């Protein structure tokens, strides 16, 4: 079963075509990466999958549901329940505590976040991500790495079909970047949600099992990473030379 299937996706800004009939399939439970130069449409594609943007043409199916056929309200509800998003800039609400930020998708969806089941779910994520001791703090009191862990917990709390991570290590130092990659890899294994990470960093891409290269608005090549950033770099150079 596919967590994500995109077929013939087009998107343009004004007269500039960014995605030109892009096809991409991500298997359920897999951890895959999307690479390409700046401005090639990687983030645009993630926003289309999340229902934050509308495609000009084509179809995007997540967990069996066609995101491209949903209106704004339906897409918002679907995203809260089936799609987790991790942004480069974390996008945490400064006035809310760590736990309140993690629970936000469920709270906005009308869930009883005080229930034993949801409390247990949040406890499990905080423990797995090493942030159990900071649940009462606010984002401004946290390091970049801690904020990213909170953002990952928030993306996973609803047990989504797929987690979309947009340059998740872009604002982190080397040590925090490596730790984030290892966390995403381990949580993918444990949680069983598919993960698609957008990155320009071969080290990050090598954390995934498979990498896709976006060139001229389409997927130009897809390869197993073998966990080797050198291999990913070589494949990248071969694709974009």
Distance, in Å, from the CA atom of 48 to the CA atom of 50, rounded to the nearest integer, reads 5
Which candidate, 153, 172, 144, 145, places its Cα nearest to that of 98? 153
End-to-end CA distance of the chain: give it in Å, rounded: 34
DSSP element (H, E) containing 144: helix 144-156
For 10-49, the pLDDT digits (tens) are 999 999 999 999 999 999 999 999 999 888 999 999 999 9
Global pTM reads 0.93
Residue 72 Cα distances to 12, 67, 77, angstroms: 19, 10, 9
**161, 62 contact by CB (below 8 A):** yes
The confidence score (pLDDT) of residue 179 equals 87
Residue 162 Cα distances to 4, 15, 61, 171, 191, angstroms: 8, 31, 11, 22, 10
Which candidate, 4, 38, 6, 3, places its Cα nearest to that of 218? 6
For 69-106, the pLDDT digits (tens) are 999 899 999 999 999 999 888 899 999 999 999 999 99
Q: Which structural domains are found in the chain, ordered by start?
A: 2-90+143-240 (3.40.50.300)
The DSSP 8-state label assigned to residue 203 in this structure reads H
């Amino acid at each position: 079963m596919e967590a994500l299937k995109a077929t013939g996706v087009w998107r343009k800004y004004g007269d500039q075509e960014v995605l030109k009939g892009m096809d991409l399939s991500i298997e359920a439970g897999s951890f895959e990466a999307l690479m390409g130069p700046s401005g090639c449409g990687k983030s645009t594609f993630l926003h289309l999958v999340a229902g934050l943007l509308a495609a000009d043409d084509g179809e995007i199916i997540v967990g069996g549901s066609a995101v491209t056929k949903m209106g704004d309200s339906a897409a918002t509800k679907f995203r809260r329940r089936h799609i987790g998003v991790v942004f480069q800039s974390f996008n945490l609400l400064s006035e809310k505590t760590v736990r309140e930020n993690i629970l936000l998708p469920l709270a906005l969806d009308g869930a009883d976040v005080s229930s034993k089941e949801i409390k247990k779910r949040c406890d499990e994520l905080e423990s797995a991500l090493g942030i159990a001791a900071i649940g009462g703090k606010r984002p401004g009191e946290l390091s970049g790495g801690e904020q990213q862990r909170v953002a990952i917990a928030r993306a996973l709390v609803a047990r989504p079909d797929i987690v979309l991570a947009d340059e998740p290590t872009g604002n982190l130092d080397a040590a925090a970047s490596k730790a984030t990659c290892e966390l995403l890899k381990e949580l993918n294994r444990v949680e069983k949600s598919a993960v698609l990470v957008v990155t320009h960093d071969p080290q990050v891409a090598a954390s995934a099992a498979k990498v896709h290269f976006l060139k001229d608005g389409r997927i130009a090549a897809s390869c197993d990473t073998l966990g080797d950033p050198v291999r990913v770099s070589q494949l990248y150079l071969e694709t974009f030379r």
